[in-house]
Amino acid sequence: MSRLQTTLLPPLLAVLFAALLCSIALLISGDNPGAALAVMVTQLGAGTTAVDVINTGAVYYIAGLAVAVGFKMKLFNIGVEGQFRIAACVAAIVGGLLPLPPVLHVIVILLTGMLVGMLWALVPALLRAYRGVSEVISTIMLNAVATGVIAWLISPAAFGFVQGNNISTPPIAPTGHFPGIDLGPSGTIFGMVFVAALLGVGYWFLLGRTRFGFELTASGESPTAATAGGVEARRMVLIAMLMSGAVAGLIGLPEVLGREHAYTLVAPQGYGFTGIAIALLGRNHPAGIAVGALLWAFLDKSALALDNIGVPREIVLIMQGVIVLSVVVAYEIVRRYAMAAEQRRVAAELRAQQQPVAEGAAT
Amino acid sequence: MTAPATSRPVPAARARRLPGWATSMLVVLVGLVVLSITATLTGQLQLTSAGTAQAAVQLLLPILFAGLGGLWAERAGVINLGLEGMMILGTWGAAWAGYQWGPWAALAAGAVFGALGGLLHAVATVTFGVNHIVSGVAITLLGAGVTKYLSTLLFLPVSANPRQSPPLRGFDSFSITPLTDVLDALVRANLVFVTDVAGILQGLLTGLTPTVLLGALAVPVTYLLLWRTAFGLRLRSCGENPVAAESLGVSVYTYKYIAVIVSGGLAGLGGAALVLNPGQLGYLEGQTGGRGYIGLAAMIFGNWRPGGLLAGSALFGYVDALQLRAGGDAVHALLYAGTILAVLVAVLWFAQRYWLAAVWALVAGLVVYLVYFFVDTIPSQFAAFAPQIVTLLVLAVASQRLRPPAADGLEYRRGEGD
Indicate the pLDDT class of residue A201, thresholds 50, 70 and 90.
very high
ipTM over 0.90? The verdict is: no
CA–CA distance, A345 with A340 (Å, rounded to integer): 9
Does any CB of chain B come closer than 8 Å to the CB of residue A157? yes
Task: Specify whether A198 is located in the same domain as A324.
Answer: no
**Cβ-Cβ contacts under 8 Å, A140 against chain B:** 290, 293, 296-297
A207 burial level (CB within 10 Å; 0-12, 13-18, 19+): buried
Task: Specify whether A286 is located in the same domain as A201.
Answer: yes
- Find the closest chain A residue to B296 by CA distance: A137
pLDDT of res. B321: 87
CB contacts < 8 A (A, B): 132
pLDDT of res. A200: 95
- Find the closest chain B residue to A314 by CA distance: B149
Domain membership flag for residue A360: no
Task: Specify whether A97 is located in the same domain as A121.
Answer: yes
- Find the closest chain A residue to B138 by CA distance: A325
Look at residues A250, A274, A269 and name the one whose alpha carbon lies nearest to residue A202. A250
Task: Specify whether A25 is located in the same domain as A151.
Answer: no
- Listed by number, the residues of chain A in 113-152 with a beta carbon closer than 8 Å to a beta carbon of chain B are 123, 127, 131-133, 136-138, 140-145, 147-149, 151-152
pLDDT of res. A359: 53
Helix axes A80-97, A49-72, angle to 10 degrees: 120
Helix axes B50-75, B252-275, angle to 10 degrees: 160
The alpha-carbon gap from B325 to the nearest alpha carbon of chain A, in Å, equals: 18
DSSP codes, A82-105: HHHHHHHHHHHHHHHH----HHHH
Flag if B137 and A325 touch (Cβ within 8 Å). no
Domain membership flag for residue A12: yes
Flag if B392 and A317 touch (Cβ within 8 Å). no
CA–CA distance, B257 with B255 (Å, rounded to integer): 5
Flag if A136 and B133 touch (Cβ within 8 Å). yes
pLDDT of res. B2: 38
Q: How far is CA A353 from CA A346, A350, A362, B269, in A?
A: 11, 5, 16, 61
With an 8 Å Cβ cutoff, the interface of chain B facing chain A consists of: 81, 120, 124, 128-131, 133-135, 137-146, 148-149, 151-153, 290, 293-294, 296-297, 300, 379, 381-382, 384-385, 388-389, 391-392, 395-396, 399-400
Indicate the pLDDT class of residue A47, thresholds 50, 70 and 90.
confident
CATH of the domain at A120: 1.10.3470
Closest partner CB to A141 (pick from B133, B141, B297): B297
pLDDT of res. A105: 92
Phi, psi of A252 (to 5 degrees): -80, -10
Average pLDDT of span A240-261: 92
Q: How far is CA B106 from CA B157, B254, B272, B285, in A?
A: 20, 28, 6, 17
The domain of A333 spans: 1-31+312-350
Q: Are B64 and B291 in contact (CB under 8 A)?
A: no
Task: Specify whether A169 is located in the same domain as A318.
Answer: no
Task: Specify whether A263 is located in the same domain as A289.
Answer: yes
Buried residues in B230-253 as b, exposed as e (16+ CB within 10 A): eebebbbbbbebbeebbeeebebb
Domain membership flag for residue A138: yes
Task: Specify whether A67 is located in the same domain as A149.
Answer: yes
CA–CA distance, A276 with A69 (Å, rounded to integer): 11
Q: Are B95 and B268 in contact (CB under 8 A)?
A: no
Higher pLDDT, A293 or A188: A293
What domains can be seen in chain B, in order of their start residue?
48-173+208-326 (1.10.3470)
Buried residues in A235-263 as b, exposed as e (16+ CB within 10 A): ebbbbbbbbbbbbbbbbbbbbbbbebbbb
Flag if A325 and B400 touch (Cβ within 8 Å). no
CA–CA distance, A242 with A247 (Å, rounded to integer): 9
CA–CA distance, B129 with B413 (Å, rounded to integer): 8
Domain membership flag for residue A47: no
Q: How many CB atoms lie within 10 A of CB A348?
A: 10
Q: Which portions of chain B are predicted below pLDDT 70?
A: 1-17, 417-418
Closest partner CB to B129 (pick from A25, A155, A332): A332
Task: Specify whether A273 is located in the same domain as A138.
Answer: yes
CA–CA distance, A123 with A90 (Å, rounded to integer): 17
- Listed by number, the residues of chain A in 163-202 with a beta carbon closer than 8 Å to a beta carbon of chain B are none
Summary mean pLDDT of chain A: 88
The alpha-carbon gap from B397 to the nearest alpha carbon of chain A, in Å, equals: 8
SS3 call for A47 = coil
pLDDT of res. A239: 93
Q: Are B390 and B315 in contact (CB under 8 A)?
A: yes
Task: Specify whether A325 is located in the same domain as A260.
Answer: no
Q: Are A192 and A58 in contact (CB under 8 A)?
A: yes
> In this structure, is the dihedral angle defined by the CA atoms of residues B204, B210, B215 and B216, taken in order, positive or negative?
positive
Flag if B149 and A127 touch (Cβ within 8 Å). no
Amino acid letter, residue B306: P
Domain membership flag for residue A243: yes
CA–CA distance, B94 with B169 (Å, rounded to integer): 11
Closest partner CB to A141 (pick from B141, B153, B391): B391
Q: Does residue A354 carry a pLDDT above 80?
A: no
Domain membership flag for residue A255: yes
Task: Specify whether A195 is located in the same domain as A241.
Answer: yes
The alpha-carbon gap from A76 to the nearest alpha carbon of chain B, in Å, equals: 8
pLDDT (tens digit per residue) in A165-198: 788 888 888 888 888 888 888 888 888 899 999 9
Task: Specify whether A227 is located in the same domain as A265.
Answer: yes
Cα Dmax for chain B: 78
Phi-psi region of B105 (alpha: psi -120 to 50; beta: other; left: phi over 0): alpha
Phi-psi region of B166 (alpha: psi -120 to 50; beta: other; left: phi over 0): beta
Residue A355 is inside which H or E element, if any? helix A315-362
Closest partner CB to A76 (pick from B133, B143, B293): B133
B369 burial level (CB within 10 Å; 0-12, 13-18, 19+): middle
Domain membership flag for residue A356: no
SS3 call for A174 = helix
CA–CA distance, A112 with A90 (Å, rounded to integer): 7
Amino acid letter, residue B158: V
Extended strands (E) in chain A: 161-163, 166-168, 181-182, 188-189
Closest partner CB to B149 (pick from A138, A142, A314): A314
Task: Specify whether A295 is located in the same domain as A332.
Answer: no
Q: Does residue A362 carry a pLDDT above 70?
A: no
Amino acid letter, residue B52: T
pLDDT (tens digit per residue) in A227-243: 888 888 888 999 999 99
Q: How far is CA B383 from CA A156, A162, A169, B326, B331, in A?
A: 17, 23, 22, 11, 7
Count of the separate structural domains present in chain A = 2
